[in-house]
Chains A and B, each alone.
Chain A
Amino acid sequence: MLSSERLDQDILHQFFRKMFHIRVVEETLLDLFAHGVIGGTVHTCLGQEAVAVGVISALNVETDIICSNHRGHGHFLAYCGDTRSLLAEILGHPTGVCGGIGGSQHLQKKNFYSNGILGGMSPVATGMAFAEKLKGSGAVVVQFMGDGAMAEGAVYEALNIAALWNLPIMFAVEHNQYAQSTHWSTQHSGSLEQRSEAFGVPSFAIDGNDVAGVNETAQRLINEIRTQSAPRLLFMHTYRLGPHSKGDDLRDQEELDHHLQREPISRLREKLDQSLVAETEQLVRQQVSTLVSDLRGN
């Protein structure tokens, strides 16, 4: 094997570990929810792990900024890997990343901020980008939103300002086809992919289930944003494999099966050394379950 391929394999393997880690955490949360251990609500990103890992691995996590949404566990874990304080937060422990006050949708750590109001973070993230531009810090802001959030007016006010003032921000759209129970085609007119272009924000639509491709495009766009101080929109096609939140899923099994064939983790697994993968999977499962037992005090 050539050394460059070896390197790629290493990076892909790291992506795999992170994506698999997110998946196990999310499955664990659904399980804890089903057993009544956690209350409130959880929105898991099963099937969308390549977006979180691909995009966030393209950032300088020391200085760049992430604004996330209600479906933000994957973004958080890809950003800082702090599973303990995420789980503690959702379990309502005082050691949670926001002392248990925030909960699943309201996470904040260093340069990571999430909120549960659809579209509301678009202007906030735009203001952060303005702040970093005025400071000359070179930081880029990434704001994640779903296809559903793209029906909110706040998003367009933000796109307008971000382009008008040449701000270093990437709008990262996770088009998982649904907003809660609503298929995107029943709530959007025109082309979602092209909307931002009308504001002068170039938009790039890609396969969001291919982590290497997501990472490559994100790196290129982040680099452009950083060097040109101008916004971009990365539009990623993906699919939510789990329920919207905790079990209220009315989609056809046939449709789900179709998308299971295209889900990002099995696609990546095929490209990797199978014995390494098996080892990683076992390790990750073990880490997460140890953390959960720790936090539950048994």
Chain B
Amino acid sequence: MASYLAGIQAGLENALTINEKVVVLGEDIVDPYGGAFKATKGLSTKFPERVISTPICEGGFTGVAVGMALRGFRPVVEIMFGDFLTLCTDQIVNHMAKFPGMFNGQVDVPLVIRTPMGGGRGYGATHSQSLEKMFLGLPGIRVVAPCHIHSVGDILQHAILTDNDPVLFIENKLLYPLDQHTHILIEQTDEIPGYPTVALKNFSSGKPDVTVIAYGGMSRELVPLLDKLQIDELNVTAVFPSSLWPVPFETLVHYGTQCERLVICEEGSTGFNWGSELAVLLYDKLSNKLAAPIVRLAAASQVIPAARRLETEALVNAEKIENAIWELMS
């Protein structure tokens, strides 16, 4: 079974093979190093002209990729750590996301910015964040964050080869070594073509007692948690959209109507986040069907500490989700 990282590598390799307009830009991405997380390992050897290491200037090379996209290429940018997206923000917000709309649909910007996000590795405050919420709701871009139940390579390939709009592609770094658990997925919905929502259930008949909506790295916590709760005979559905923005809203409402208790969890910090927007959207549709208010879990609003013990306290994990579920059930 292939790992999440292998899925990314395969997605990149397939895209480079299928379309010669695909180029990959980023820091330290060429062989033998192959990128800080090895996502591009082997690719510069196979495609030396199209896998290119850049100077350390995230804003600059993101802008370069925007220019290439405007002139017929399908660039993929790797930002070494998602925390460094702050350096690209002007290019993302005022260039990449603006051009198609501002130029009245006369240009396309088929560009994918991939980046690892998330903590759990003791890297500390500037290398552990989940900053995708800064870009959620921004007109003109899609924010994608597949979990390890998704076929991550297929989604990446779709973003690179088929989607003509810019995509911010978030990879939770703790998912990289995990096997892609595509076999345990029980349902896939394609409300947004190319960006499926997958769902997982720990029961075979009846209704869920609780439905958890989550994305990205949260699958690492939720897959074993569902097994554990199965022993306790608690029926849980976990739903993972791969597209965070726009939201596959009909799909989420569909799962929301199947049960009376909802939990939304994410790794990023609490406050004006994915969960708050989803909760509002869902309340509009579900308010009179819910037995209790929607529970939202996110990281504490603080810098992410480096020390393992402190970092664990700050971030969402299976134990915290489990506690929240039991509290919701009581």
Contact = CB atoms under 8 A, between A and B. Distances in A.
A134 B57 CA distance: 21
Contacts of A153: 59
A60 to B, nearest CB: 16
Contacts of B72: 131, 135
Interface residues of A, number: 33
Given A131-B68, A157-B55, A160-B55, A124 B63 contact: yes
A69 B93 CA distance: 17
Interface in B63-77: 63-73, 75
Contacts of B98: 106, 115
Interface in A162-185: 164
A180 B95 CA distance: 22
A157 to B, nearest CB: 3
A161 B60 contact: yes
Nearest to B65: A127
User: Chain B interface mostly helix, strand, loop or mixed?
Assistant: helix
B2 to A, nearest CB: 31
Interface stretch (A33-41, A97-105, A222-230): A97-105
Contacts of A128: 67-68, 70-71
A46 interface: no
Contacts of A239: none
A193 interface: no
A109 B70 CA distance: 12
A157 B68 contact: no
Contacts of A123: 59-64, 66-67, 91
Interface in A57-105: 65, 98-99, 101-102
Contact of B64 (A99, A108, A117, A161): A161
A134 B103 CA distance: 25
Contacts of A16: none
User: Chain A interface mostly helix, strand, loop or mixed?
Assistant: helix
Interface in B33-88: 49, 54-55, 57, 59-73, 75
Interface in A117-139: 117, 120-132, 134-135
A12 interface: no
B85 to A, nearest CB: 15
B70 A160 contact: no
Contact of A127 (B55, B67, B90, B102): B67
Q: Which of A65, A124, A126 has the most CB of B within 10 A?
A: A124
Contact of A161 (B61, B75, B91): B61
A65 B69 CA distance: 14
A131 B62 CA distance: 14
A288 interface: no
B101 interface: yes
Interface string B214-241: 0000000000000000000000000000
B104 interface: yes
B279 interface: no
A127 B106 CA distance: 19
Contacts of B73: 131, 134
Contacts of A130: 64, 67-68
Contacts of A135: 71-72
B205 interface: no
A158 B55 contact: no
A241 interface: no
A113 interface: yes
Contacts of A124: 63-64, 66-67, 70, 91, 95
Contact of B59 (A106, A113, A154): A154
B94 interface: yes
Nearest to A113: B70
Contact of A117 (B55, B68, B75, B90): B90
A125 B67 contact: yes
A98 B105 CA distance: 8
Nearest to B58: A157
B278 interface: no
Contacts of B67: 123-131
Contact of A98 (B57, B69, B70, B102): B102
8 contacts: A108-B103, A120-B91, A126-B67, A131-B67, A132-B71, A135-B71, A161-B54, A161-B60
Given A65-B71, A128-B70, A164-B55, 18 more contacts: A98-B103, A99-B104, A101-B101, A101-B104, A108-B104, A122-B63, A123-B59, A123-B60, A123-B63, A124-B63, A124-B64, A124-B66, A124-B67, A131-B68, A132-B71, A134-B73, A157-B60, A160-B57
* Closest 3 A/B residue pairs (Cβ): A127-B67, A123-B63, A157-B60
